Structure 1
Amino acid sequence: MTITAPEARTADLASTGVSIEIRDVVKRYKSTTAVDNVSLTVQPGEFLTLLGSSGSGKSTLLNIVAGFIEADAGTIEVGGRDLTKVPPYRRDLGMVFQHYALFPHMSVWDNVAFPLRRRKCSRAEVTARVQRALDVVELGHLAKRRPNQLSGGQQQRVALARAIVFQPQALLMDEPLGALDKRLREQLQLEIKRLHRELGTTFVFVTHDQEEALAMSDRIAVLRDGGVVQVGTPVELYERPSTRYTAEFLGESNIFTGRCDGPVFVDDASGASFAVAERTAGTALVVRPEHVRLTDSRTLPPEQHNAVDGVVSEVVYLGSGLRVEVTLPDGRTLITRTEARGDLAPTPGLAVTAHWHPEHTLVVEDDVTD
């Protein structure tokens, strides 16, 4: 048996990624603005994720790029070509949906071959390209089966093969893993990352799952109410969110609202002062749970650390660590993540001091209305 190297399998499918320019795009439905004057650049060969909650406009924006929805204003350029008025079937873009959209009466082979036959490719070219695409997603041995004979993950891999088989300029994916269970979703995340790396094609991926976005993306665009809140790498958005909304949407955060007064942040609720590493204007202080440490209330924390006293109210075992909730004197909850076998064994009712270094204290704009 001959084993084909991944590089060889994808050589004829690989394409040079193209840029996507979204300029001043607006989409309204009666009194609702689904996409609100969005401008966004996707770099050639980049994996960009549109991340947001339901109703944020991420899927609408993706479908405008694909051509399935017509924008009320703005332009879409792919590879320098204006596609704003070009119908979907002439945009040369691959599309993968959440619910697979496979033809149930066709075999896996025929599903993947469909885009090539619509383009009137020769029989020899169809055979060669379909085989290569199925090899890339590791489903060549199931080519004769029909969709109802496959698992959910296998069906989604067929959908991926069908989307790449005609060598699209870019691949658009609208929550393609949303219907899968957690373990299978994580497996396909790795496969999609591998596919992106091997093909070099520009990927635009839509999800509401923050962990999925952080794990897969080169950059993430966070959307809210039809607009872009912040764009950056996963590390930038997690470590340096510009607003409270981004901080809370991407991972858990401890939030204190108040004001900066020189090198300290003053908490409105308690009047406590917290040292900040950078003097930044803003009305919300963000501390990630993994940066918070706990000590017995009788033990003084390091002198330079910010500190608050409280009582442990909840402890959740996560295998690799503990998620601990600490109730502060004013009733607010502070969250920590700590090692399961640390020096302190937190239990509900234990009086503790939660503390963190000023370099982990980030001041941002409070754009969330409680």
Structure 2
Amino acid sequence: MTSPTPPSTGASVRLNRVTKRYGGLRALDDVTLHIEAGEFMTLLGASGSGKSTLLNIIAGFTKADSGTVEVGGRDLTGVPPHKRGLGMVFQQYALFPHMTVFENVAFPLRRRRVPKDELVKRVREALDIVELGHLRSRMPAQLSGGQQQRVAFARAIVFHPQVLLMDEPLAALDKRLREQLQIEIKRLHRELGITFVFVTHDQQEALAMSDRIALLRDGRIVQVGTPDELYERPAELYAAEFLGESNIFRGTVRGGVFTDGASGAGLKVAGAPADGPAAIVLRPEKVRILLPPDEVPPGHNALSGVVRELIYLGGERRVEVGLADGRRVIARLRSDDPHGHVPPGTSVIACWRPEDALVLRNGSAAAAAPDPQPVG
């Protein structure tokens, strides 16, 4: 593997109060986001959340109704796409079918009238970075989907952009190839020092690849933070529901005790949350499964139920426990955990430490949430 010295370092990206409307619909609503130079920032959200619109405004393909876009301290708000100097990788590769791999990668340099010797050097360097130098004479139709996507990456970095924009570039690939290219993209980011702005709706992809994630919903940013922060400390219920699977209970906190609104059960919570309506967010990997007459460890919360489903996932098992009130609690146990092998119909106890659950006090999010249930 060839790892040339990074030809450039990344530039910061600053979006200030960006709004975009389509008729009466606000695709983006007063969005402000600051991306650090050299950072890998992922724009994450469901379809219609505004993430691709935001990326296209950075690229210059879409014009914002208000707000500004700055890259490296330079205001690009009115600058056309071809003069912004940003790299772009699309979901469908967008390779020229009548050009070889070499010619596809060389295309941005020819448009910039780069001298031939320098052009050849840069193209070879870019293809070596994506480990496709040996295929430079092939046509796109002779490449696999993963190889075509790597050619698209090489073409996007060959002119040494400071910022690389990627619009769901792995969505069309199968799971195994997608995971392989996730590693390749992380390697590219580390070696090149370029600022990456990556759009995806895939939560696992975002967790695996990002320095930080901006989670969008209905044209607004819900939360910005590291993968750990968004997963372990979601700011509101939508973030907890969207990013990973969660057990969510709605109720009331009073005197440091949470009362479940559906069953009336009292559940211990960590710290001293303020009294009032609240929700508990409990990740499945924090839940233990006990078999009566096993004793619940001191200080733990416990709910009795019956195993409904047991799903083998390789290194772990997903256990769905049905409660008496009709709801369910999901646990994820290591495959070698004997409690993960109990068959459906078995009476069990789901338990967890109070400090392993998060108490949220976002009234609007709690009011909009459905009845407590895991969401994956």
Q: Return the letter of the residue paired with 1:324.
A: V
For 1:316, the equivalent position in structure 2 comes to: 311
SS in 2 for 1:114: helix
Cα deviation, residue 354, structure 1: 0.3
Distance in 2 (alpha carbons) for counterparts of 1:68 and 1:280: 46
- Percent identity reads 63
Q: Return the letter of the residue paired with 2:159.
A: F
Cα deviation, residue 343, structure 1: 3.3
Cα deviation, residue 303, structure 1: 1.8
For 2:273, the equivalent position in structure 1 comes to: 280
Is 2:358 the partner of 1:358? no
Distance in 1 (alpha carbons) for counterparts of 2:176 and 2:255: 47
For 1:337, the equivalent position in structure 2 comes to: 332
Structure 1 unpaired stretches of 5+ = none
For 1:108, the equivalent position in structure 2 comes to: 101
For 2:139, the equivalent position in structure 1 comes to: 146
| Deviations 1:336-359, CA, capped at 9 Å, x for gaps | 001222232321000011000011
Is 2:168 the partner of 1:172? no
Distance in 2 (alpha carbons) for counterparts of 1:40 and 1:232: 11
2:2/2:128 contact within 8 Å kept: no
Is 2:93 the partner of 1:137? no
User: What TM-score, normalized by structure 1, do the two folds share?
Assistant: 0.96
Is 2:196 the partner of 1:208? no
For 1:230, the equivalent position in structure 2 comes to: 223
2:296/2:302 contact within 8 Å kept: yes
| Runs (4+) off by over 3 Å | none
- Alpha carbons of structure 1 residues 325 and 251: separation in structure 2 relative to 1, 3 Å: same
Q: Which moved more, 1:154-163 or 1:332-341?
A: 332-341
Distance in 1 (alpha carbons) for counterparts of 2:300 and 2:330: 17
For 1:190, the equivalent position in structure 2 comes to: 183
Cα RMSD after superposing both structures: 1.1
Is 2:95 the partner of 1:99? no
| Deviations 1:286-333, CA, capped at 9 Å, x for gaps | 000000001013222112001101100000011111100000110001
User: What TM-score, normalized by structure 2, do the two folds share?
Assistant: 0.95
For 1:300, the equivalent position in structure 2 comes to: 295
Distance in 1 (alpha carbons) for counterparts of 2:345 and 2:159: 62
| Deviations 1:86-117, CA, capped at 9 Å, x for gaps | 00001010000000011111111010000000
Is 2:285 the partner of 1:290? yes
Distance in 2 (alpha carbons) for counterparts of 1:5 and 1:113: 19
Cα deviation, residue 5, structure 1: 4.3
Distance in 2 (alpha carbons) for counterparts of 1:80 and 1:34: 25
Cα deviation, residue 362, structure 1: 0.4
- Alpha carbons of structure 1 residues 369 and 355: separation in structure 2 relative to 1, 3 Å: closer
SS in 2 for 1:189: helix
For 1:53, the equivalent position in structure 2 comes to: 46
Aligned residues: 363
